Structure 1
Amino acid sequence: MKRILVPVDFSEFSENALEVAAQLATNFKAELVLLHMLGLSEAIFTKNEAQEFMEAQYYMKLAKKRFNEFLGKPFMKGIKVAEIVQNYKDFQEINNIVKEQEIDLVVMGSHGNSGLTGLFVGSNTEKVIRTCTAPVLVIKKRNKDFSIKKAVYASDFEVEHVEVFNKAMKFFSLLNVEVHNVYVNRPNQYFKSSEEINAQIALFMGVAHHGQAHQKDSVQILNDYSIEEGIYSYARKIDADIIALPTQGRKGLAHFFKGSVGEDIANNAELPVITFKL
């Protein structure tokens, strides 16, 4: 891991994300790229050029001042940092920075339970998650001693999601994380028999590892009324540090997480959530 992007708005929530990103940067000797999106209104750009220039300069200087305050935090000591201040109309444009700067991970802060309403449905965070080609780590609260020892990776284990599974496992391998794979079986139209589930998982793992079985990739089959409750309950049971989910770009979360599942997981879980795009 060489470069970590942290979108900042200088709020308490982006400071929480920055502190976690700083710890990761220290561990991996990585560089932090801090992005502040001015979000200037169209009204500014309908003025004459002189006014436009003066106002843009004002906002740029203000952002620079606030960057200096952020970078003065004790946890930022000794970390290499690059700053980007640009005007963006849409959070989806963050992926342009991800590609241009060759970003390996995006770390974003988010509000508490109420602020996470719509994390995967219509919010700025959701827009980043849907379009970002790098993994996106969402931090909900301050974590001065951030570490990931146990992760819950939830999936439907359809063969089409092998690529994102391997991407997630590679990431966790870098951090030496113990990964618990889970499948949630529900009493509705998605219900499958034990034989069907086991056959599906066996096929998935066979494709993922070219026919070579891996004991560490065993899958815990959970029975619950909803995916989110199944995942969250299991995460609490094993004292997990993070919940990991696959995404499918513009279609949102993978088929397994259609509807408001992603939102509910984020709203109920105080744990960090990391997503991997297919």
Structure 2
Amino acid sequence: MYDRILIPTDGSEEARKAVDHGIDLAAAVNASVHALFVVESRLSALPSDSMRQVTEREEWVRYGEEVTEEVVADAEARGVSGVAAVEHGKAHKEIVEYAEENGIDCIVMGTHGRDGVQDVILGNVTERVVRTANVPVLTVRRGKLE
């Protein structure tokens, strides 16, 4: 059914529910897990802002490495092999591109994540991934699977 399952995460509690569900699915179908964190790009107008953003971006990369390695460790503890990745760019585009480049069969992600602005039906990133991905996208709703 599935050989490679992509689990994008932002490290939030909502994303954690999707991580657990994705690992469960991978274990059930003997698939591997790819954990992905995307560092969003921002443009800067001032040199001092640019320098500050380099430091901030490095912190986000370290954070992304931590949360994806945690997903891989959780997967491996349950007998599922895993890959951790951190990409840079627009989250929805990087998720879809990663899936295409890595032969992903299914994407499992939460409907909402760290973003403080809540969309009516789906989080903005999730909604865009659902519309543009060439593979099935399994979404885990906020507050479910507790």
Same fold? TM cut 0.5: yes
Q: 1:101 to 1:53 in 2, by over 3 A?
A: same
Q: 1:64 to 1:52 in 2, by over 3 A?
A: same
Q: Which amino acid aligns with 1:8?
A: T
Q: Which amino acid aligns with 1:138?
A: T
SS in 1 for 2:127: helix
CA deviation after TM superposition for structure 1 residue 89, in Å: 2.3
Q: Hey, what does 1:13 align to over in structure 2?
A: 14
Q: Hey, what does 2:100 align to over in structure 1?
A: 99
Q: Hey, what does 2:43 align to over in structure 1?
A: 42
The one-character-per-residue Cα deviations of 1:38-75 (angstroms, maximum 9, x if unpaired) are 11422299669876655443322222223344445489
Identity %: 26
| Distance (Å, rounded) in 2 between the aligned partners of 1:101 and 1:27 | 21
Higher-Rg structure is 1
SS in 2 for 1:83: strand
Is the counterpart of residue 143 in structure 1 residue 145 in structure 2?
A: yes
Equivalent residues in 2 for 1:108-123, closer than 5 Å? 108-111=109-112, 115=118, 117-119=120-122, 123=124
Q: Which amino acid aligns with 2:145?
A: N
| Distance (Å, rounded) in 2 between the aligned partners of 1:65 and 1:90 | 18
Q: 1:51 to 1:136 in 2, by over 3 A?
A: same
Q: Do the aligned partners of 1:19 and 1:143 also contact (CA within 8 Å) in 2?
A: no
Is the counterpart of residue 57 in structure 1 residue 58 in structure 2?
A: yes
Structure 2 runs not aligned, ≥5 long? none
Q: Which amino acid aligns with 1:117?
A: V
TM value normalised by structure 2: 0.77
Q: Hey, what does 1:231 align to over in structure 2?
A: none
| Distance (Å, rounded) in 2 between the aligned partners of 1:93 and 1:71 | 19
CA deviation after TM superposition for structure 1 residue 88, in Å: 1.3
Q: Do the aligned partners of 1:8 and 1:15 also contact (CA within 8 Å) in 2?
A: yes
Indicate the RMSD between aligned Cα atoms, in angstroms.
Answer: 3.3
| Distance (Å, rounded) in 1 between the aligned partners of 2:89 and 2:119 | 22
| Distance (Å, rounded) in 2 between the aligned partners of 1:73 and 1:29 | 15
Q: Hey, what does 2:134 align to over in structure 1?
A: 133
Moved more, 42-51 or 70-79: 42-51
TM value normalised by structure 1: 0.43
| Distance (Å, rounded) in 1 between the aligned partners of 2:38 and 2:71 | 15
| Distance (Å, rounded) in 2 between the aligned partners of 1:67 and 1:24 | 17
The one-character-per-residue Cα deviations of 1:68-89 (angstroms, maximum 9, x if unpaired) are 4444548953221111111112
CA deviation after TM superposition for structure 1 residue 9, in Å: 0.5
Equivalent residues in 2 for 1:1-278, closer than 5 Å? 1-43=2-44, 54-73=55-74, 76-111=77-112, 115=118, 117-119=120-122, 123-140=124-141, 141-143=143-145
Structure 1 runs not aligned, ≥5 long? 145-278
Count, aligned residues: 141
Q: Do the aligned partners of 1:17 and 1:139 also contact (CA within 8 Å) in 2?
A: yes
Q: 1:44 to 1:67 in 2, by over 3 A?
A: farther
Q: 1:40 to 1:4 in 2, by over 3 A?
A: same
| Distance (Å, rounded) in 2 between the aligned partners of 1:19 and 1:81 | 13
The one-character-per-residue Cα deviations of 1:103-149 (angstroms, maximum 9, x if unpaired) are 110111124xx945142xx82211111110001111114437xxxxx
| Distance (Å, rounded) in 1 between the aligned partners of 2:130 and 2:46 | 29
